[in-house]
Amino acid sequence: MSHRAPTVSVLLLALAVGACAKDDALVDVKGSCTDAFKAQVCSFASMKGKTLVEAGIVVPLASIENAPAEQPMAWPPAVDATLDLPDAVRQQGGLTQLTVYWEAGGHPPGAFMTPHFDFHFYTVAPSEVTAIDCKDLSKPAALPAAFALPDIPLPPEMAKMTGVPTLVGLCVPHMGMHAILATEIERKDAFSGAMVIGYYKGKPIFFEPMLAKAMLLKKESFDLPIPDVPGLTGAHPTKFHAEYNKAQQAYRFTFSTFTPAT
């Protein structure tokens, strides 16, 4: 009686299992890196084979700690870091580019007048972002549930510097309009973290985790809900998680659960 066939079958099965395990492994693909306050912030994509699972950035704690207590006022605000996202993120996740702004003194409305970071993850081409001048003040036909897109009067000194007495829809040149949960706008104490949805010319153009420095210095992981966004078509993330890694002394900001491209 020959034992050759069972031996070959077992070998082929082992090879198939090994191949499947390899295909199922979650592999990080590094994107671009740039200096942000004396440390490197890097973008990434996490892939299973050719499928995008997660996308985001790694932010060292040093970048957060080294952000200056004061900064010169500028209009439009000066960007502190710009990162391209990996090809897979643009193709399967709908996110194109990240801009990072450090707000040393915060900005209106009142709850956000505390030191914080603005992380803008755009869904449009970089050329569209740089072209935003806030001359088009059209607002979207519908907002996510419980979100507001307010017109915010600026304090006299800011109005004089910018030449803009009111930010219609919280529109900022080279950024866009900012829709925020109404409860965050109305709160009397300083905010900790909020997911902002950006717009320009009436269409959604970015997801923004807006994060207080004080919260980030707690070195704790957290989630920010992403709402259903009316008018947003194509692939886009539906979950956001920030994971603090004590050993690496860094945060990993991750978007995941992407809708399919249309």
Helix (H) or strand (E) segment spanning residue 119: strand 116-122
Per-residue pLDDT tens for 2-24? 444 445 454 444 444 444 445 57
Residue 262's pLDDT is what? Answer: 61
Residue 74 tokens, joined: 């500028």
Q: Return the amino acid letter for 242.
A: A
**Would you say 204 and 116 are in contact if contact means Cβ atoms under 8 Å apart?**
no
Residues listed for the chain: 262
Q: What is the pLDDT of residue 154?
A: 87
Instruction: Tell me the pLDDT tens digit for each residue of 117-154.
Output: 999 999 999 999 999 999 999 999 999 999 999 999 98
pLDDT at residue 15 in the model:
44
Tell me, what's the pLDDT at 158?
83
* Higher per-residue pLDDT: 140 or 156: 140
Separation CA 182–CA 152 (nearest Å)? 13
Is the pLDDT at 101 greater than 60, yes or no?
Answer: yes
Mean pLDDT along residues 98-126 = 96
Going by their DSSP bridges, the two strands 51-60 and 222-223 should be labelled as unpaired
The terminus-to-terminus CA distance of the chain in angstroms comes to 57
Q: What pLDDT shows up at residue 229?
A: 98
Contact 70, 219 (CB under 8 A): no
Percent of the chain with pLDDT over 90: 82
Tell me how far apart the alpha carbons of residues 203 and 197 are, in angstroms, rounded to a whole number.
10
Mapped onto helix, strand or coil, the DSSP state of residue 109 is coil
- Mean per-residue pLDDT for 44-65? 97
Q: Which among 230, 28, 72 is positioned nearest to 144, based on CA atoms?
A: 230
Mean pLDDT within 88-101:
96
Q: What is the pLDDT of residues 195-238, one digit of tens each?
A: 999 999 999 999 999 999 999 999 999 999 999 999 998 899 99
Over residues 73-91, mean pLDDT: 94
Nearest CA to 41 out of 31, 28, 50 is that of 31
Strand ordering across the sheet containing 116-122:
81-84, 97-103, 116-122, 203-212, 193-200, 177-181, 147-148
Measured CA to CA, the distance from residue 72 to residue 195 in angstroms comes to 26
Identity of the amino acid at 154: L
Is the predicted pLDDT of residue 194 greater than 70, yes or no? yes
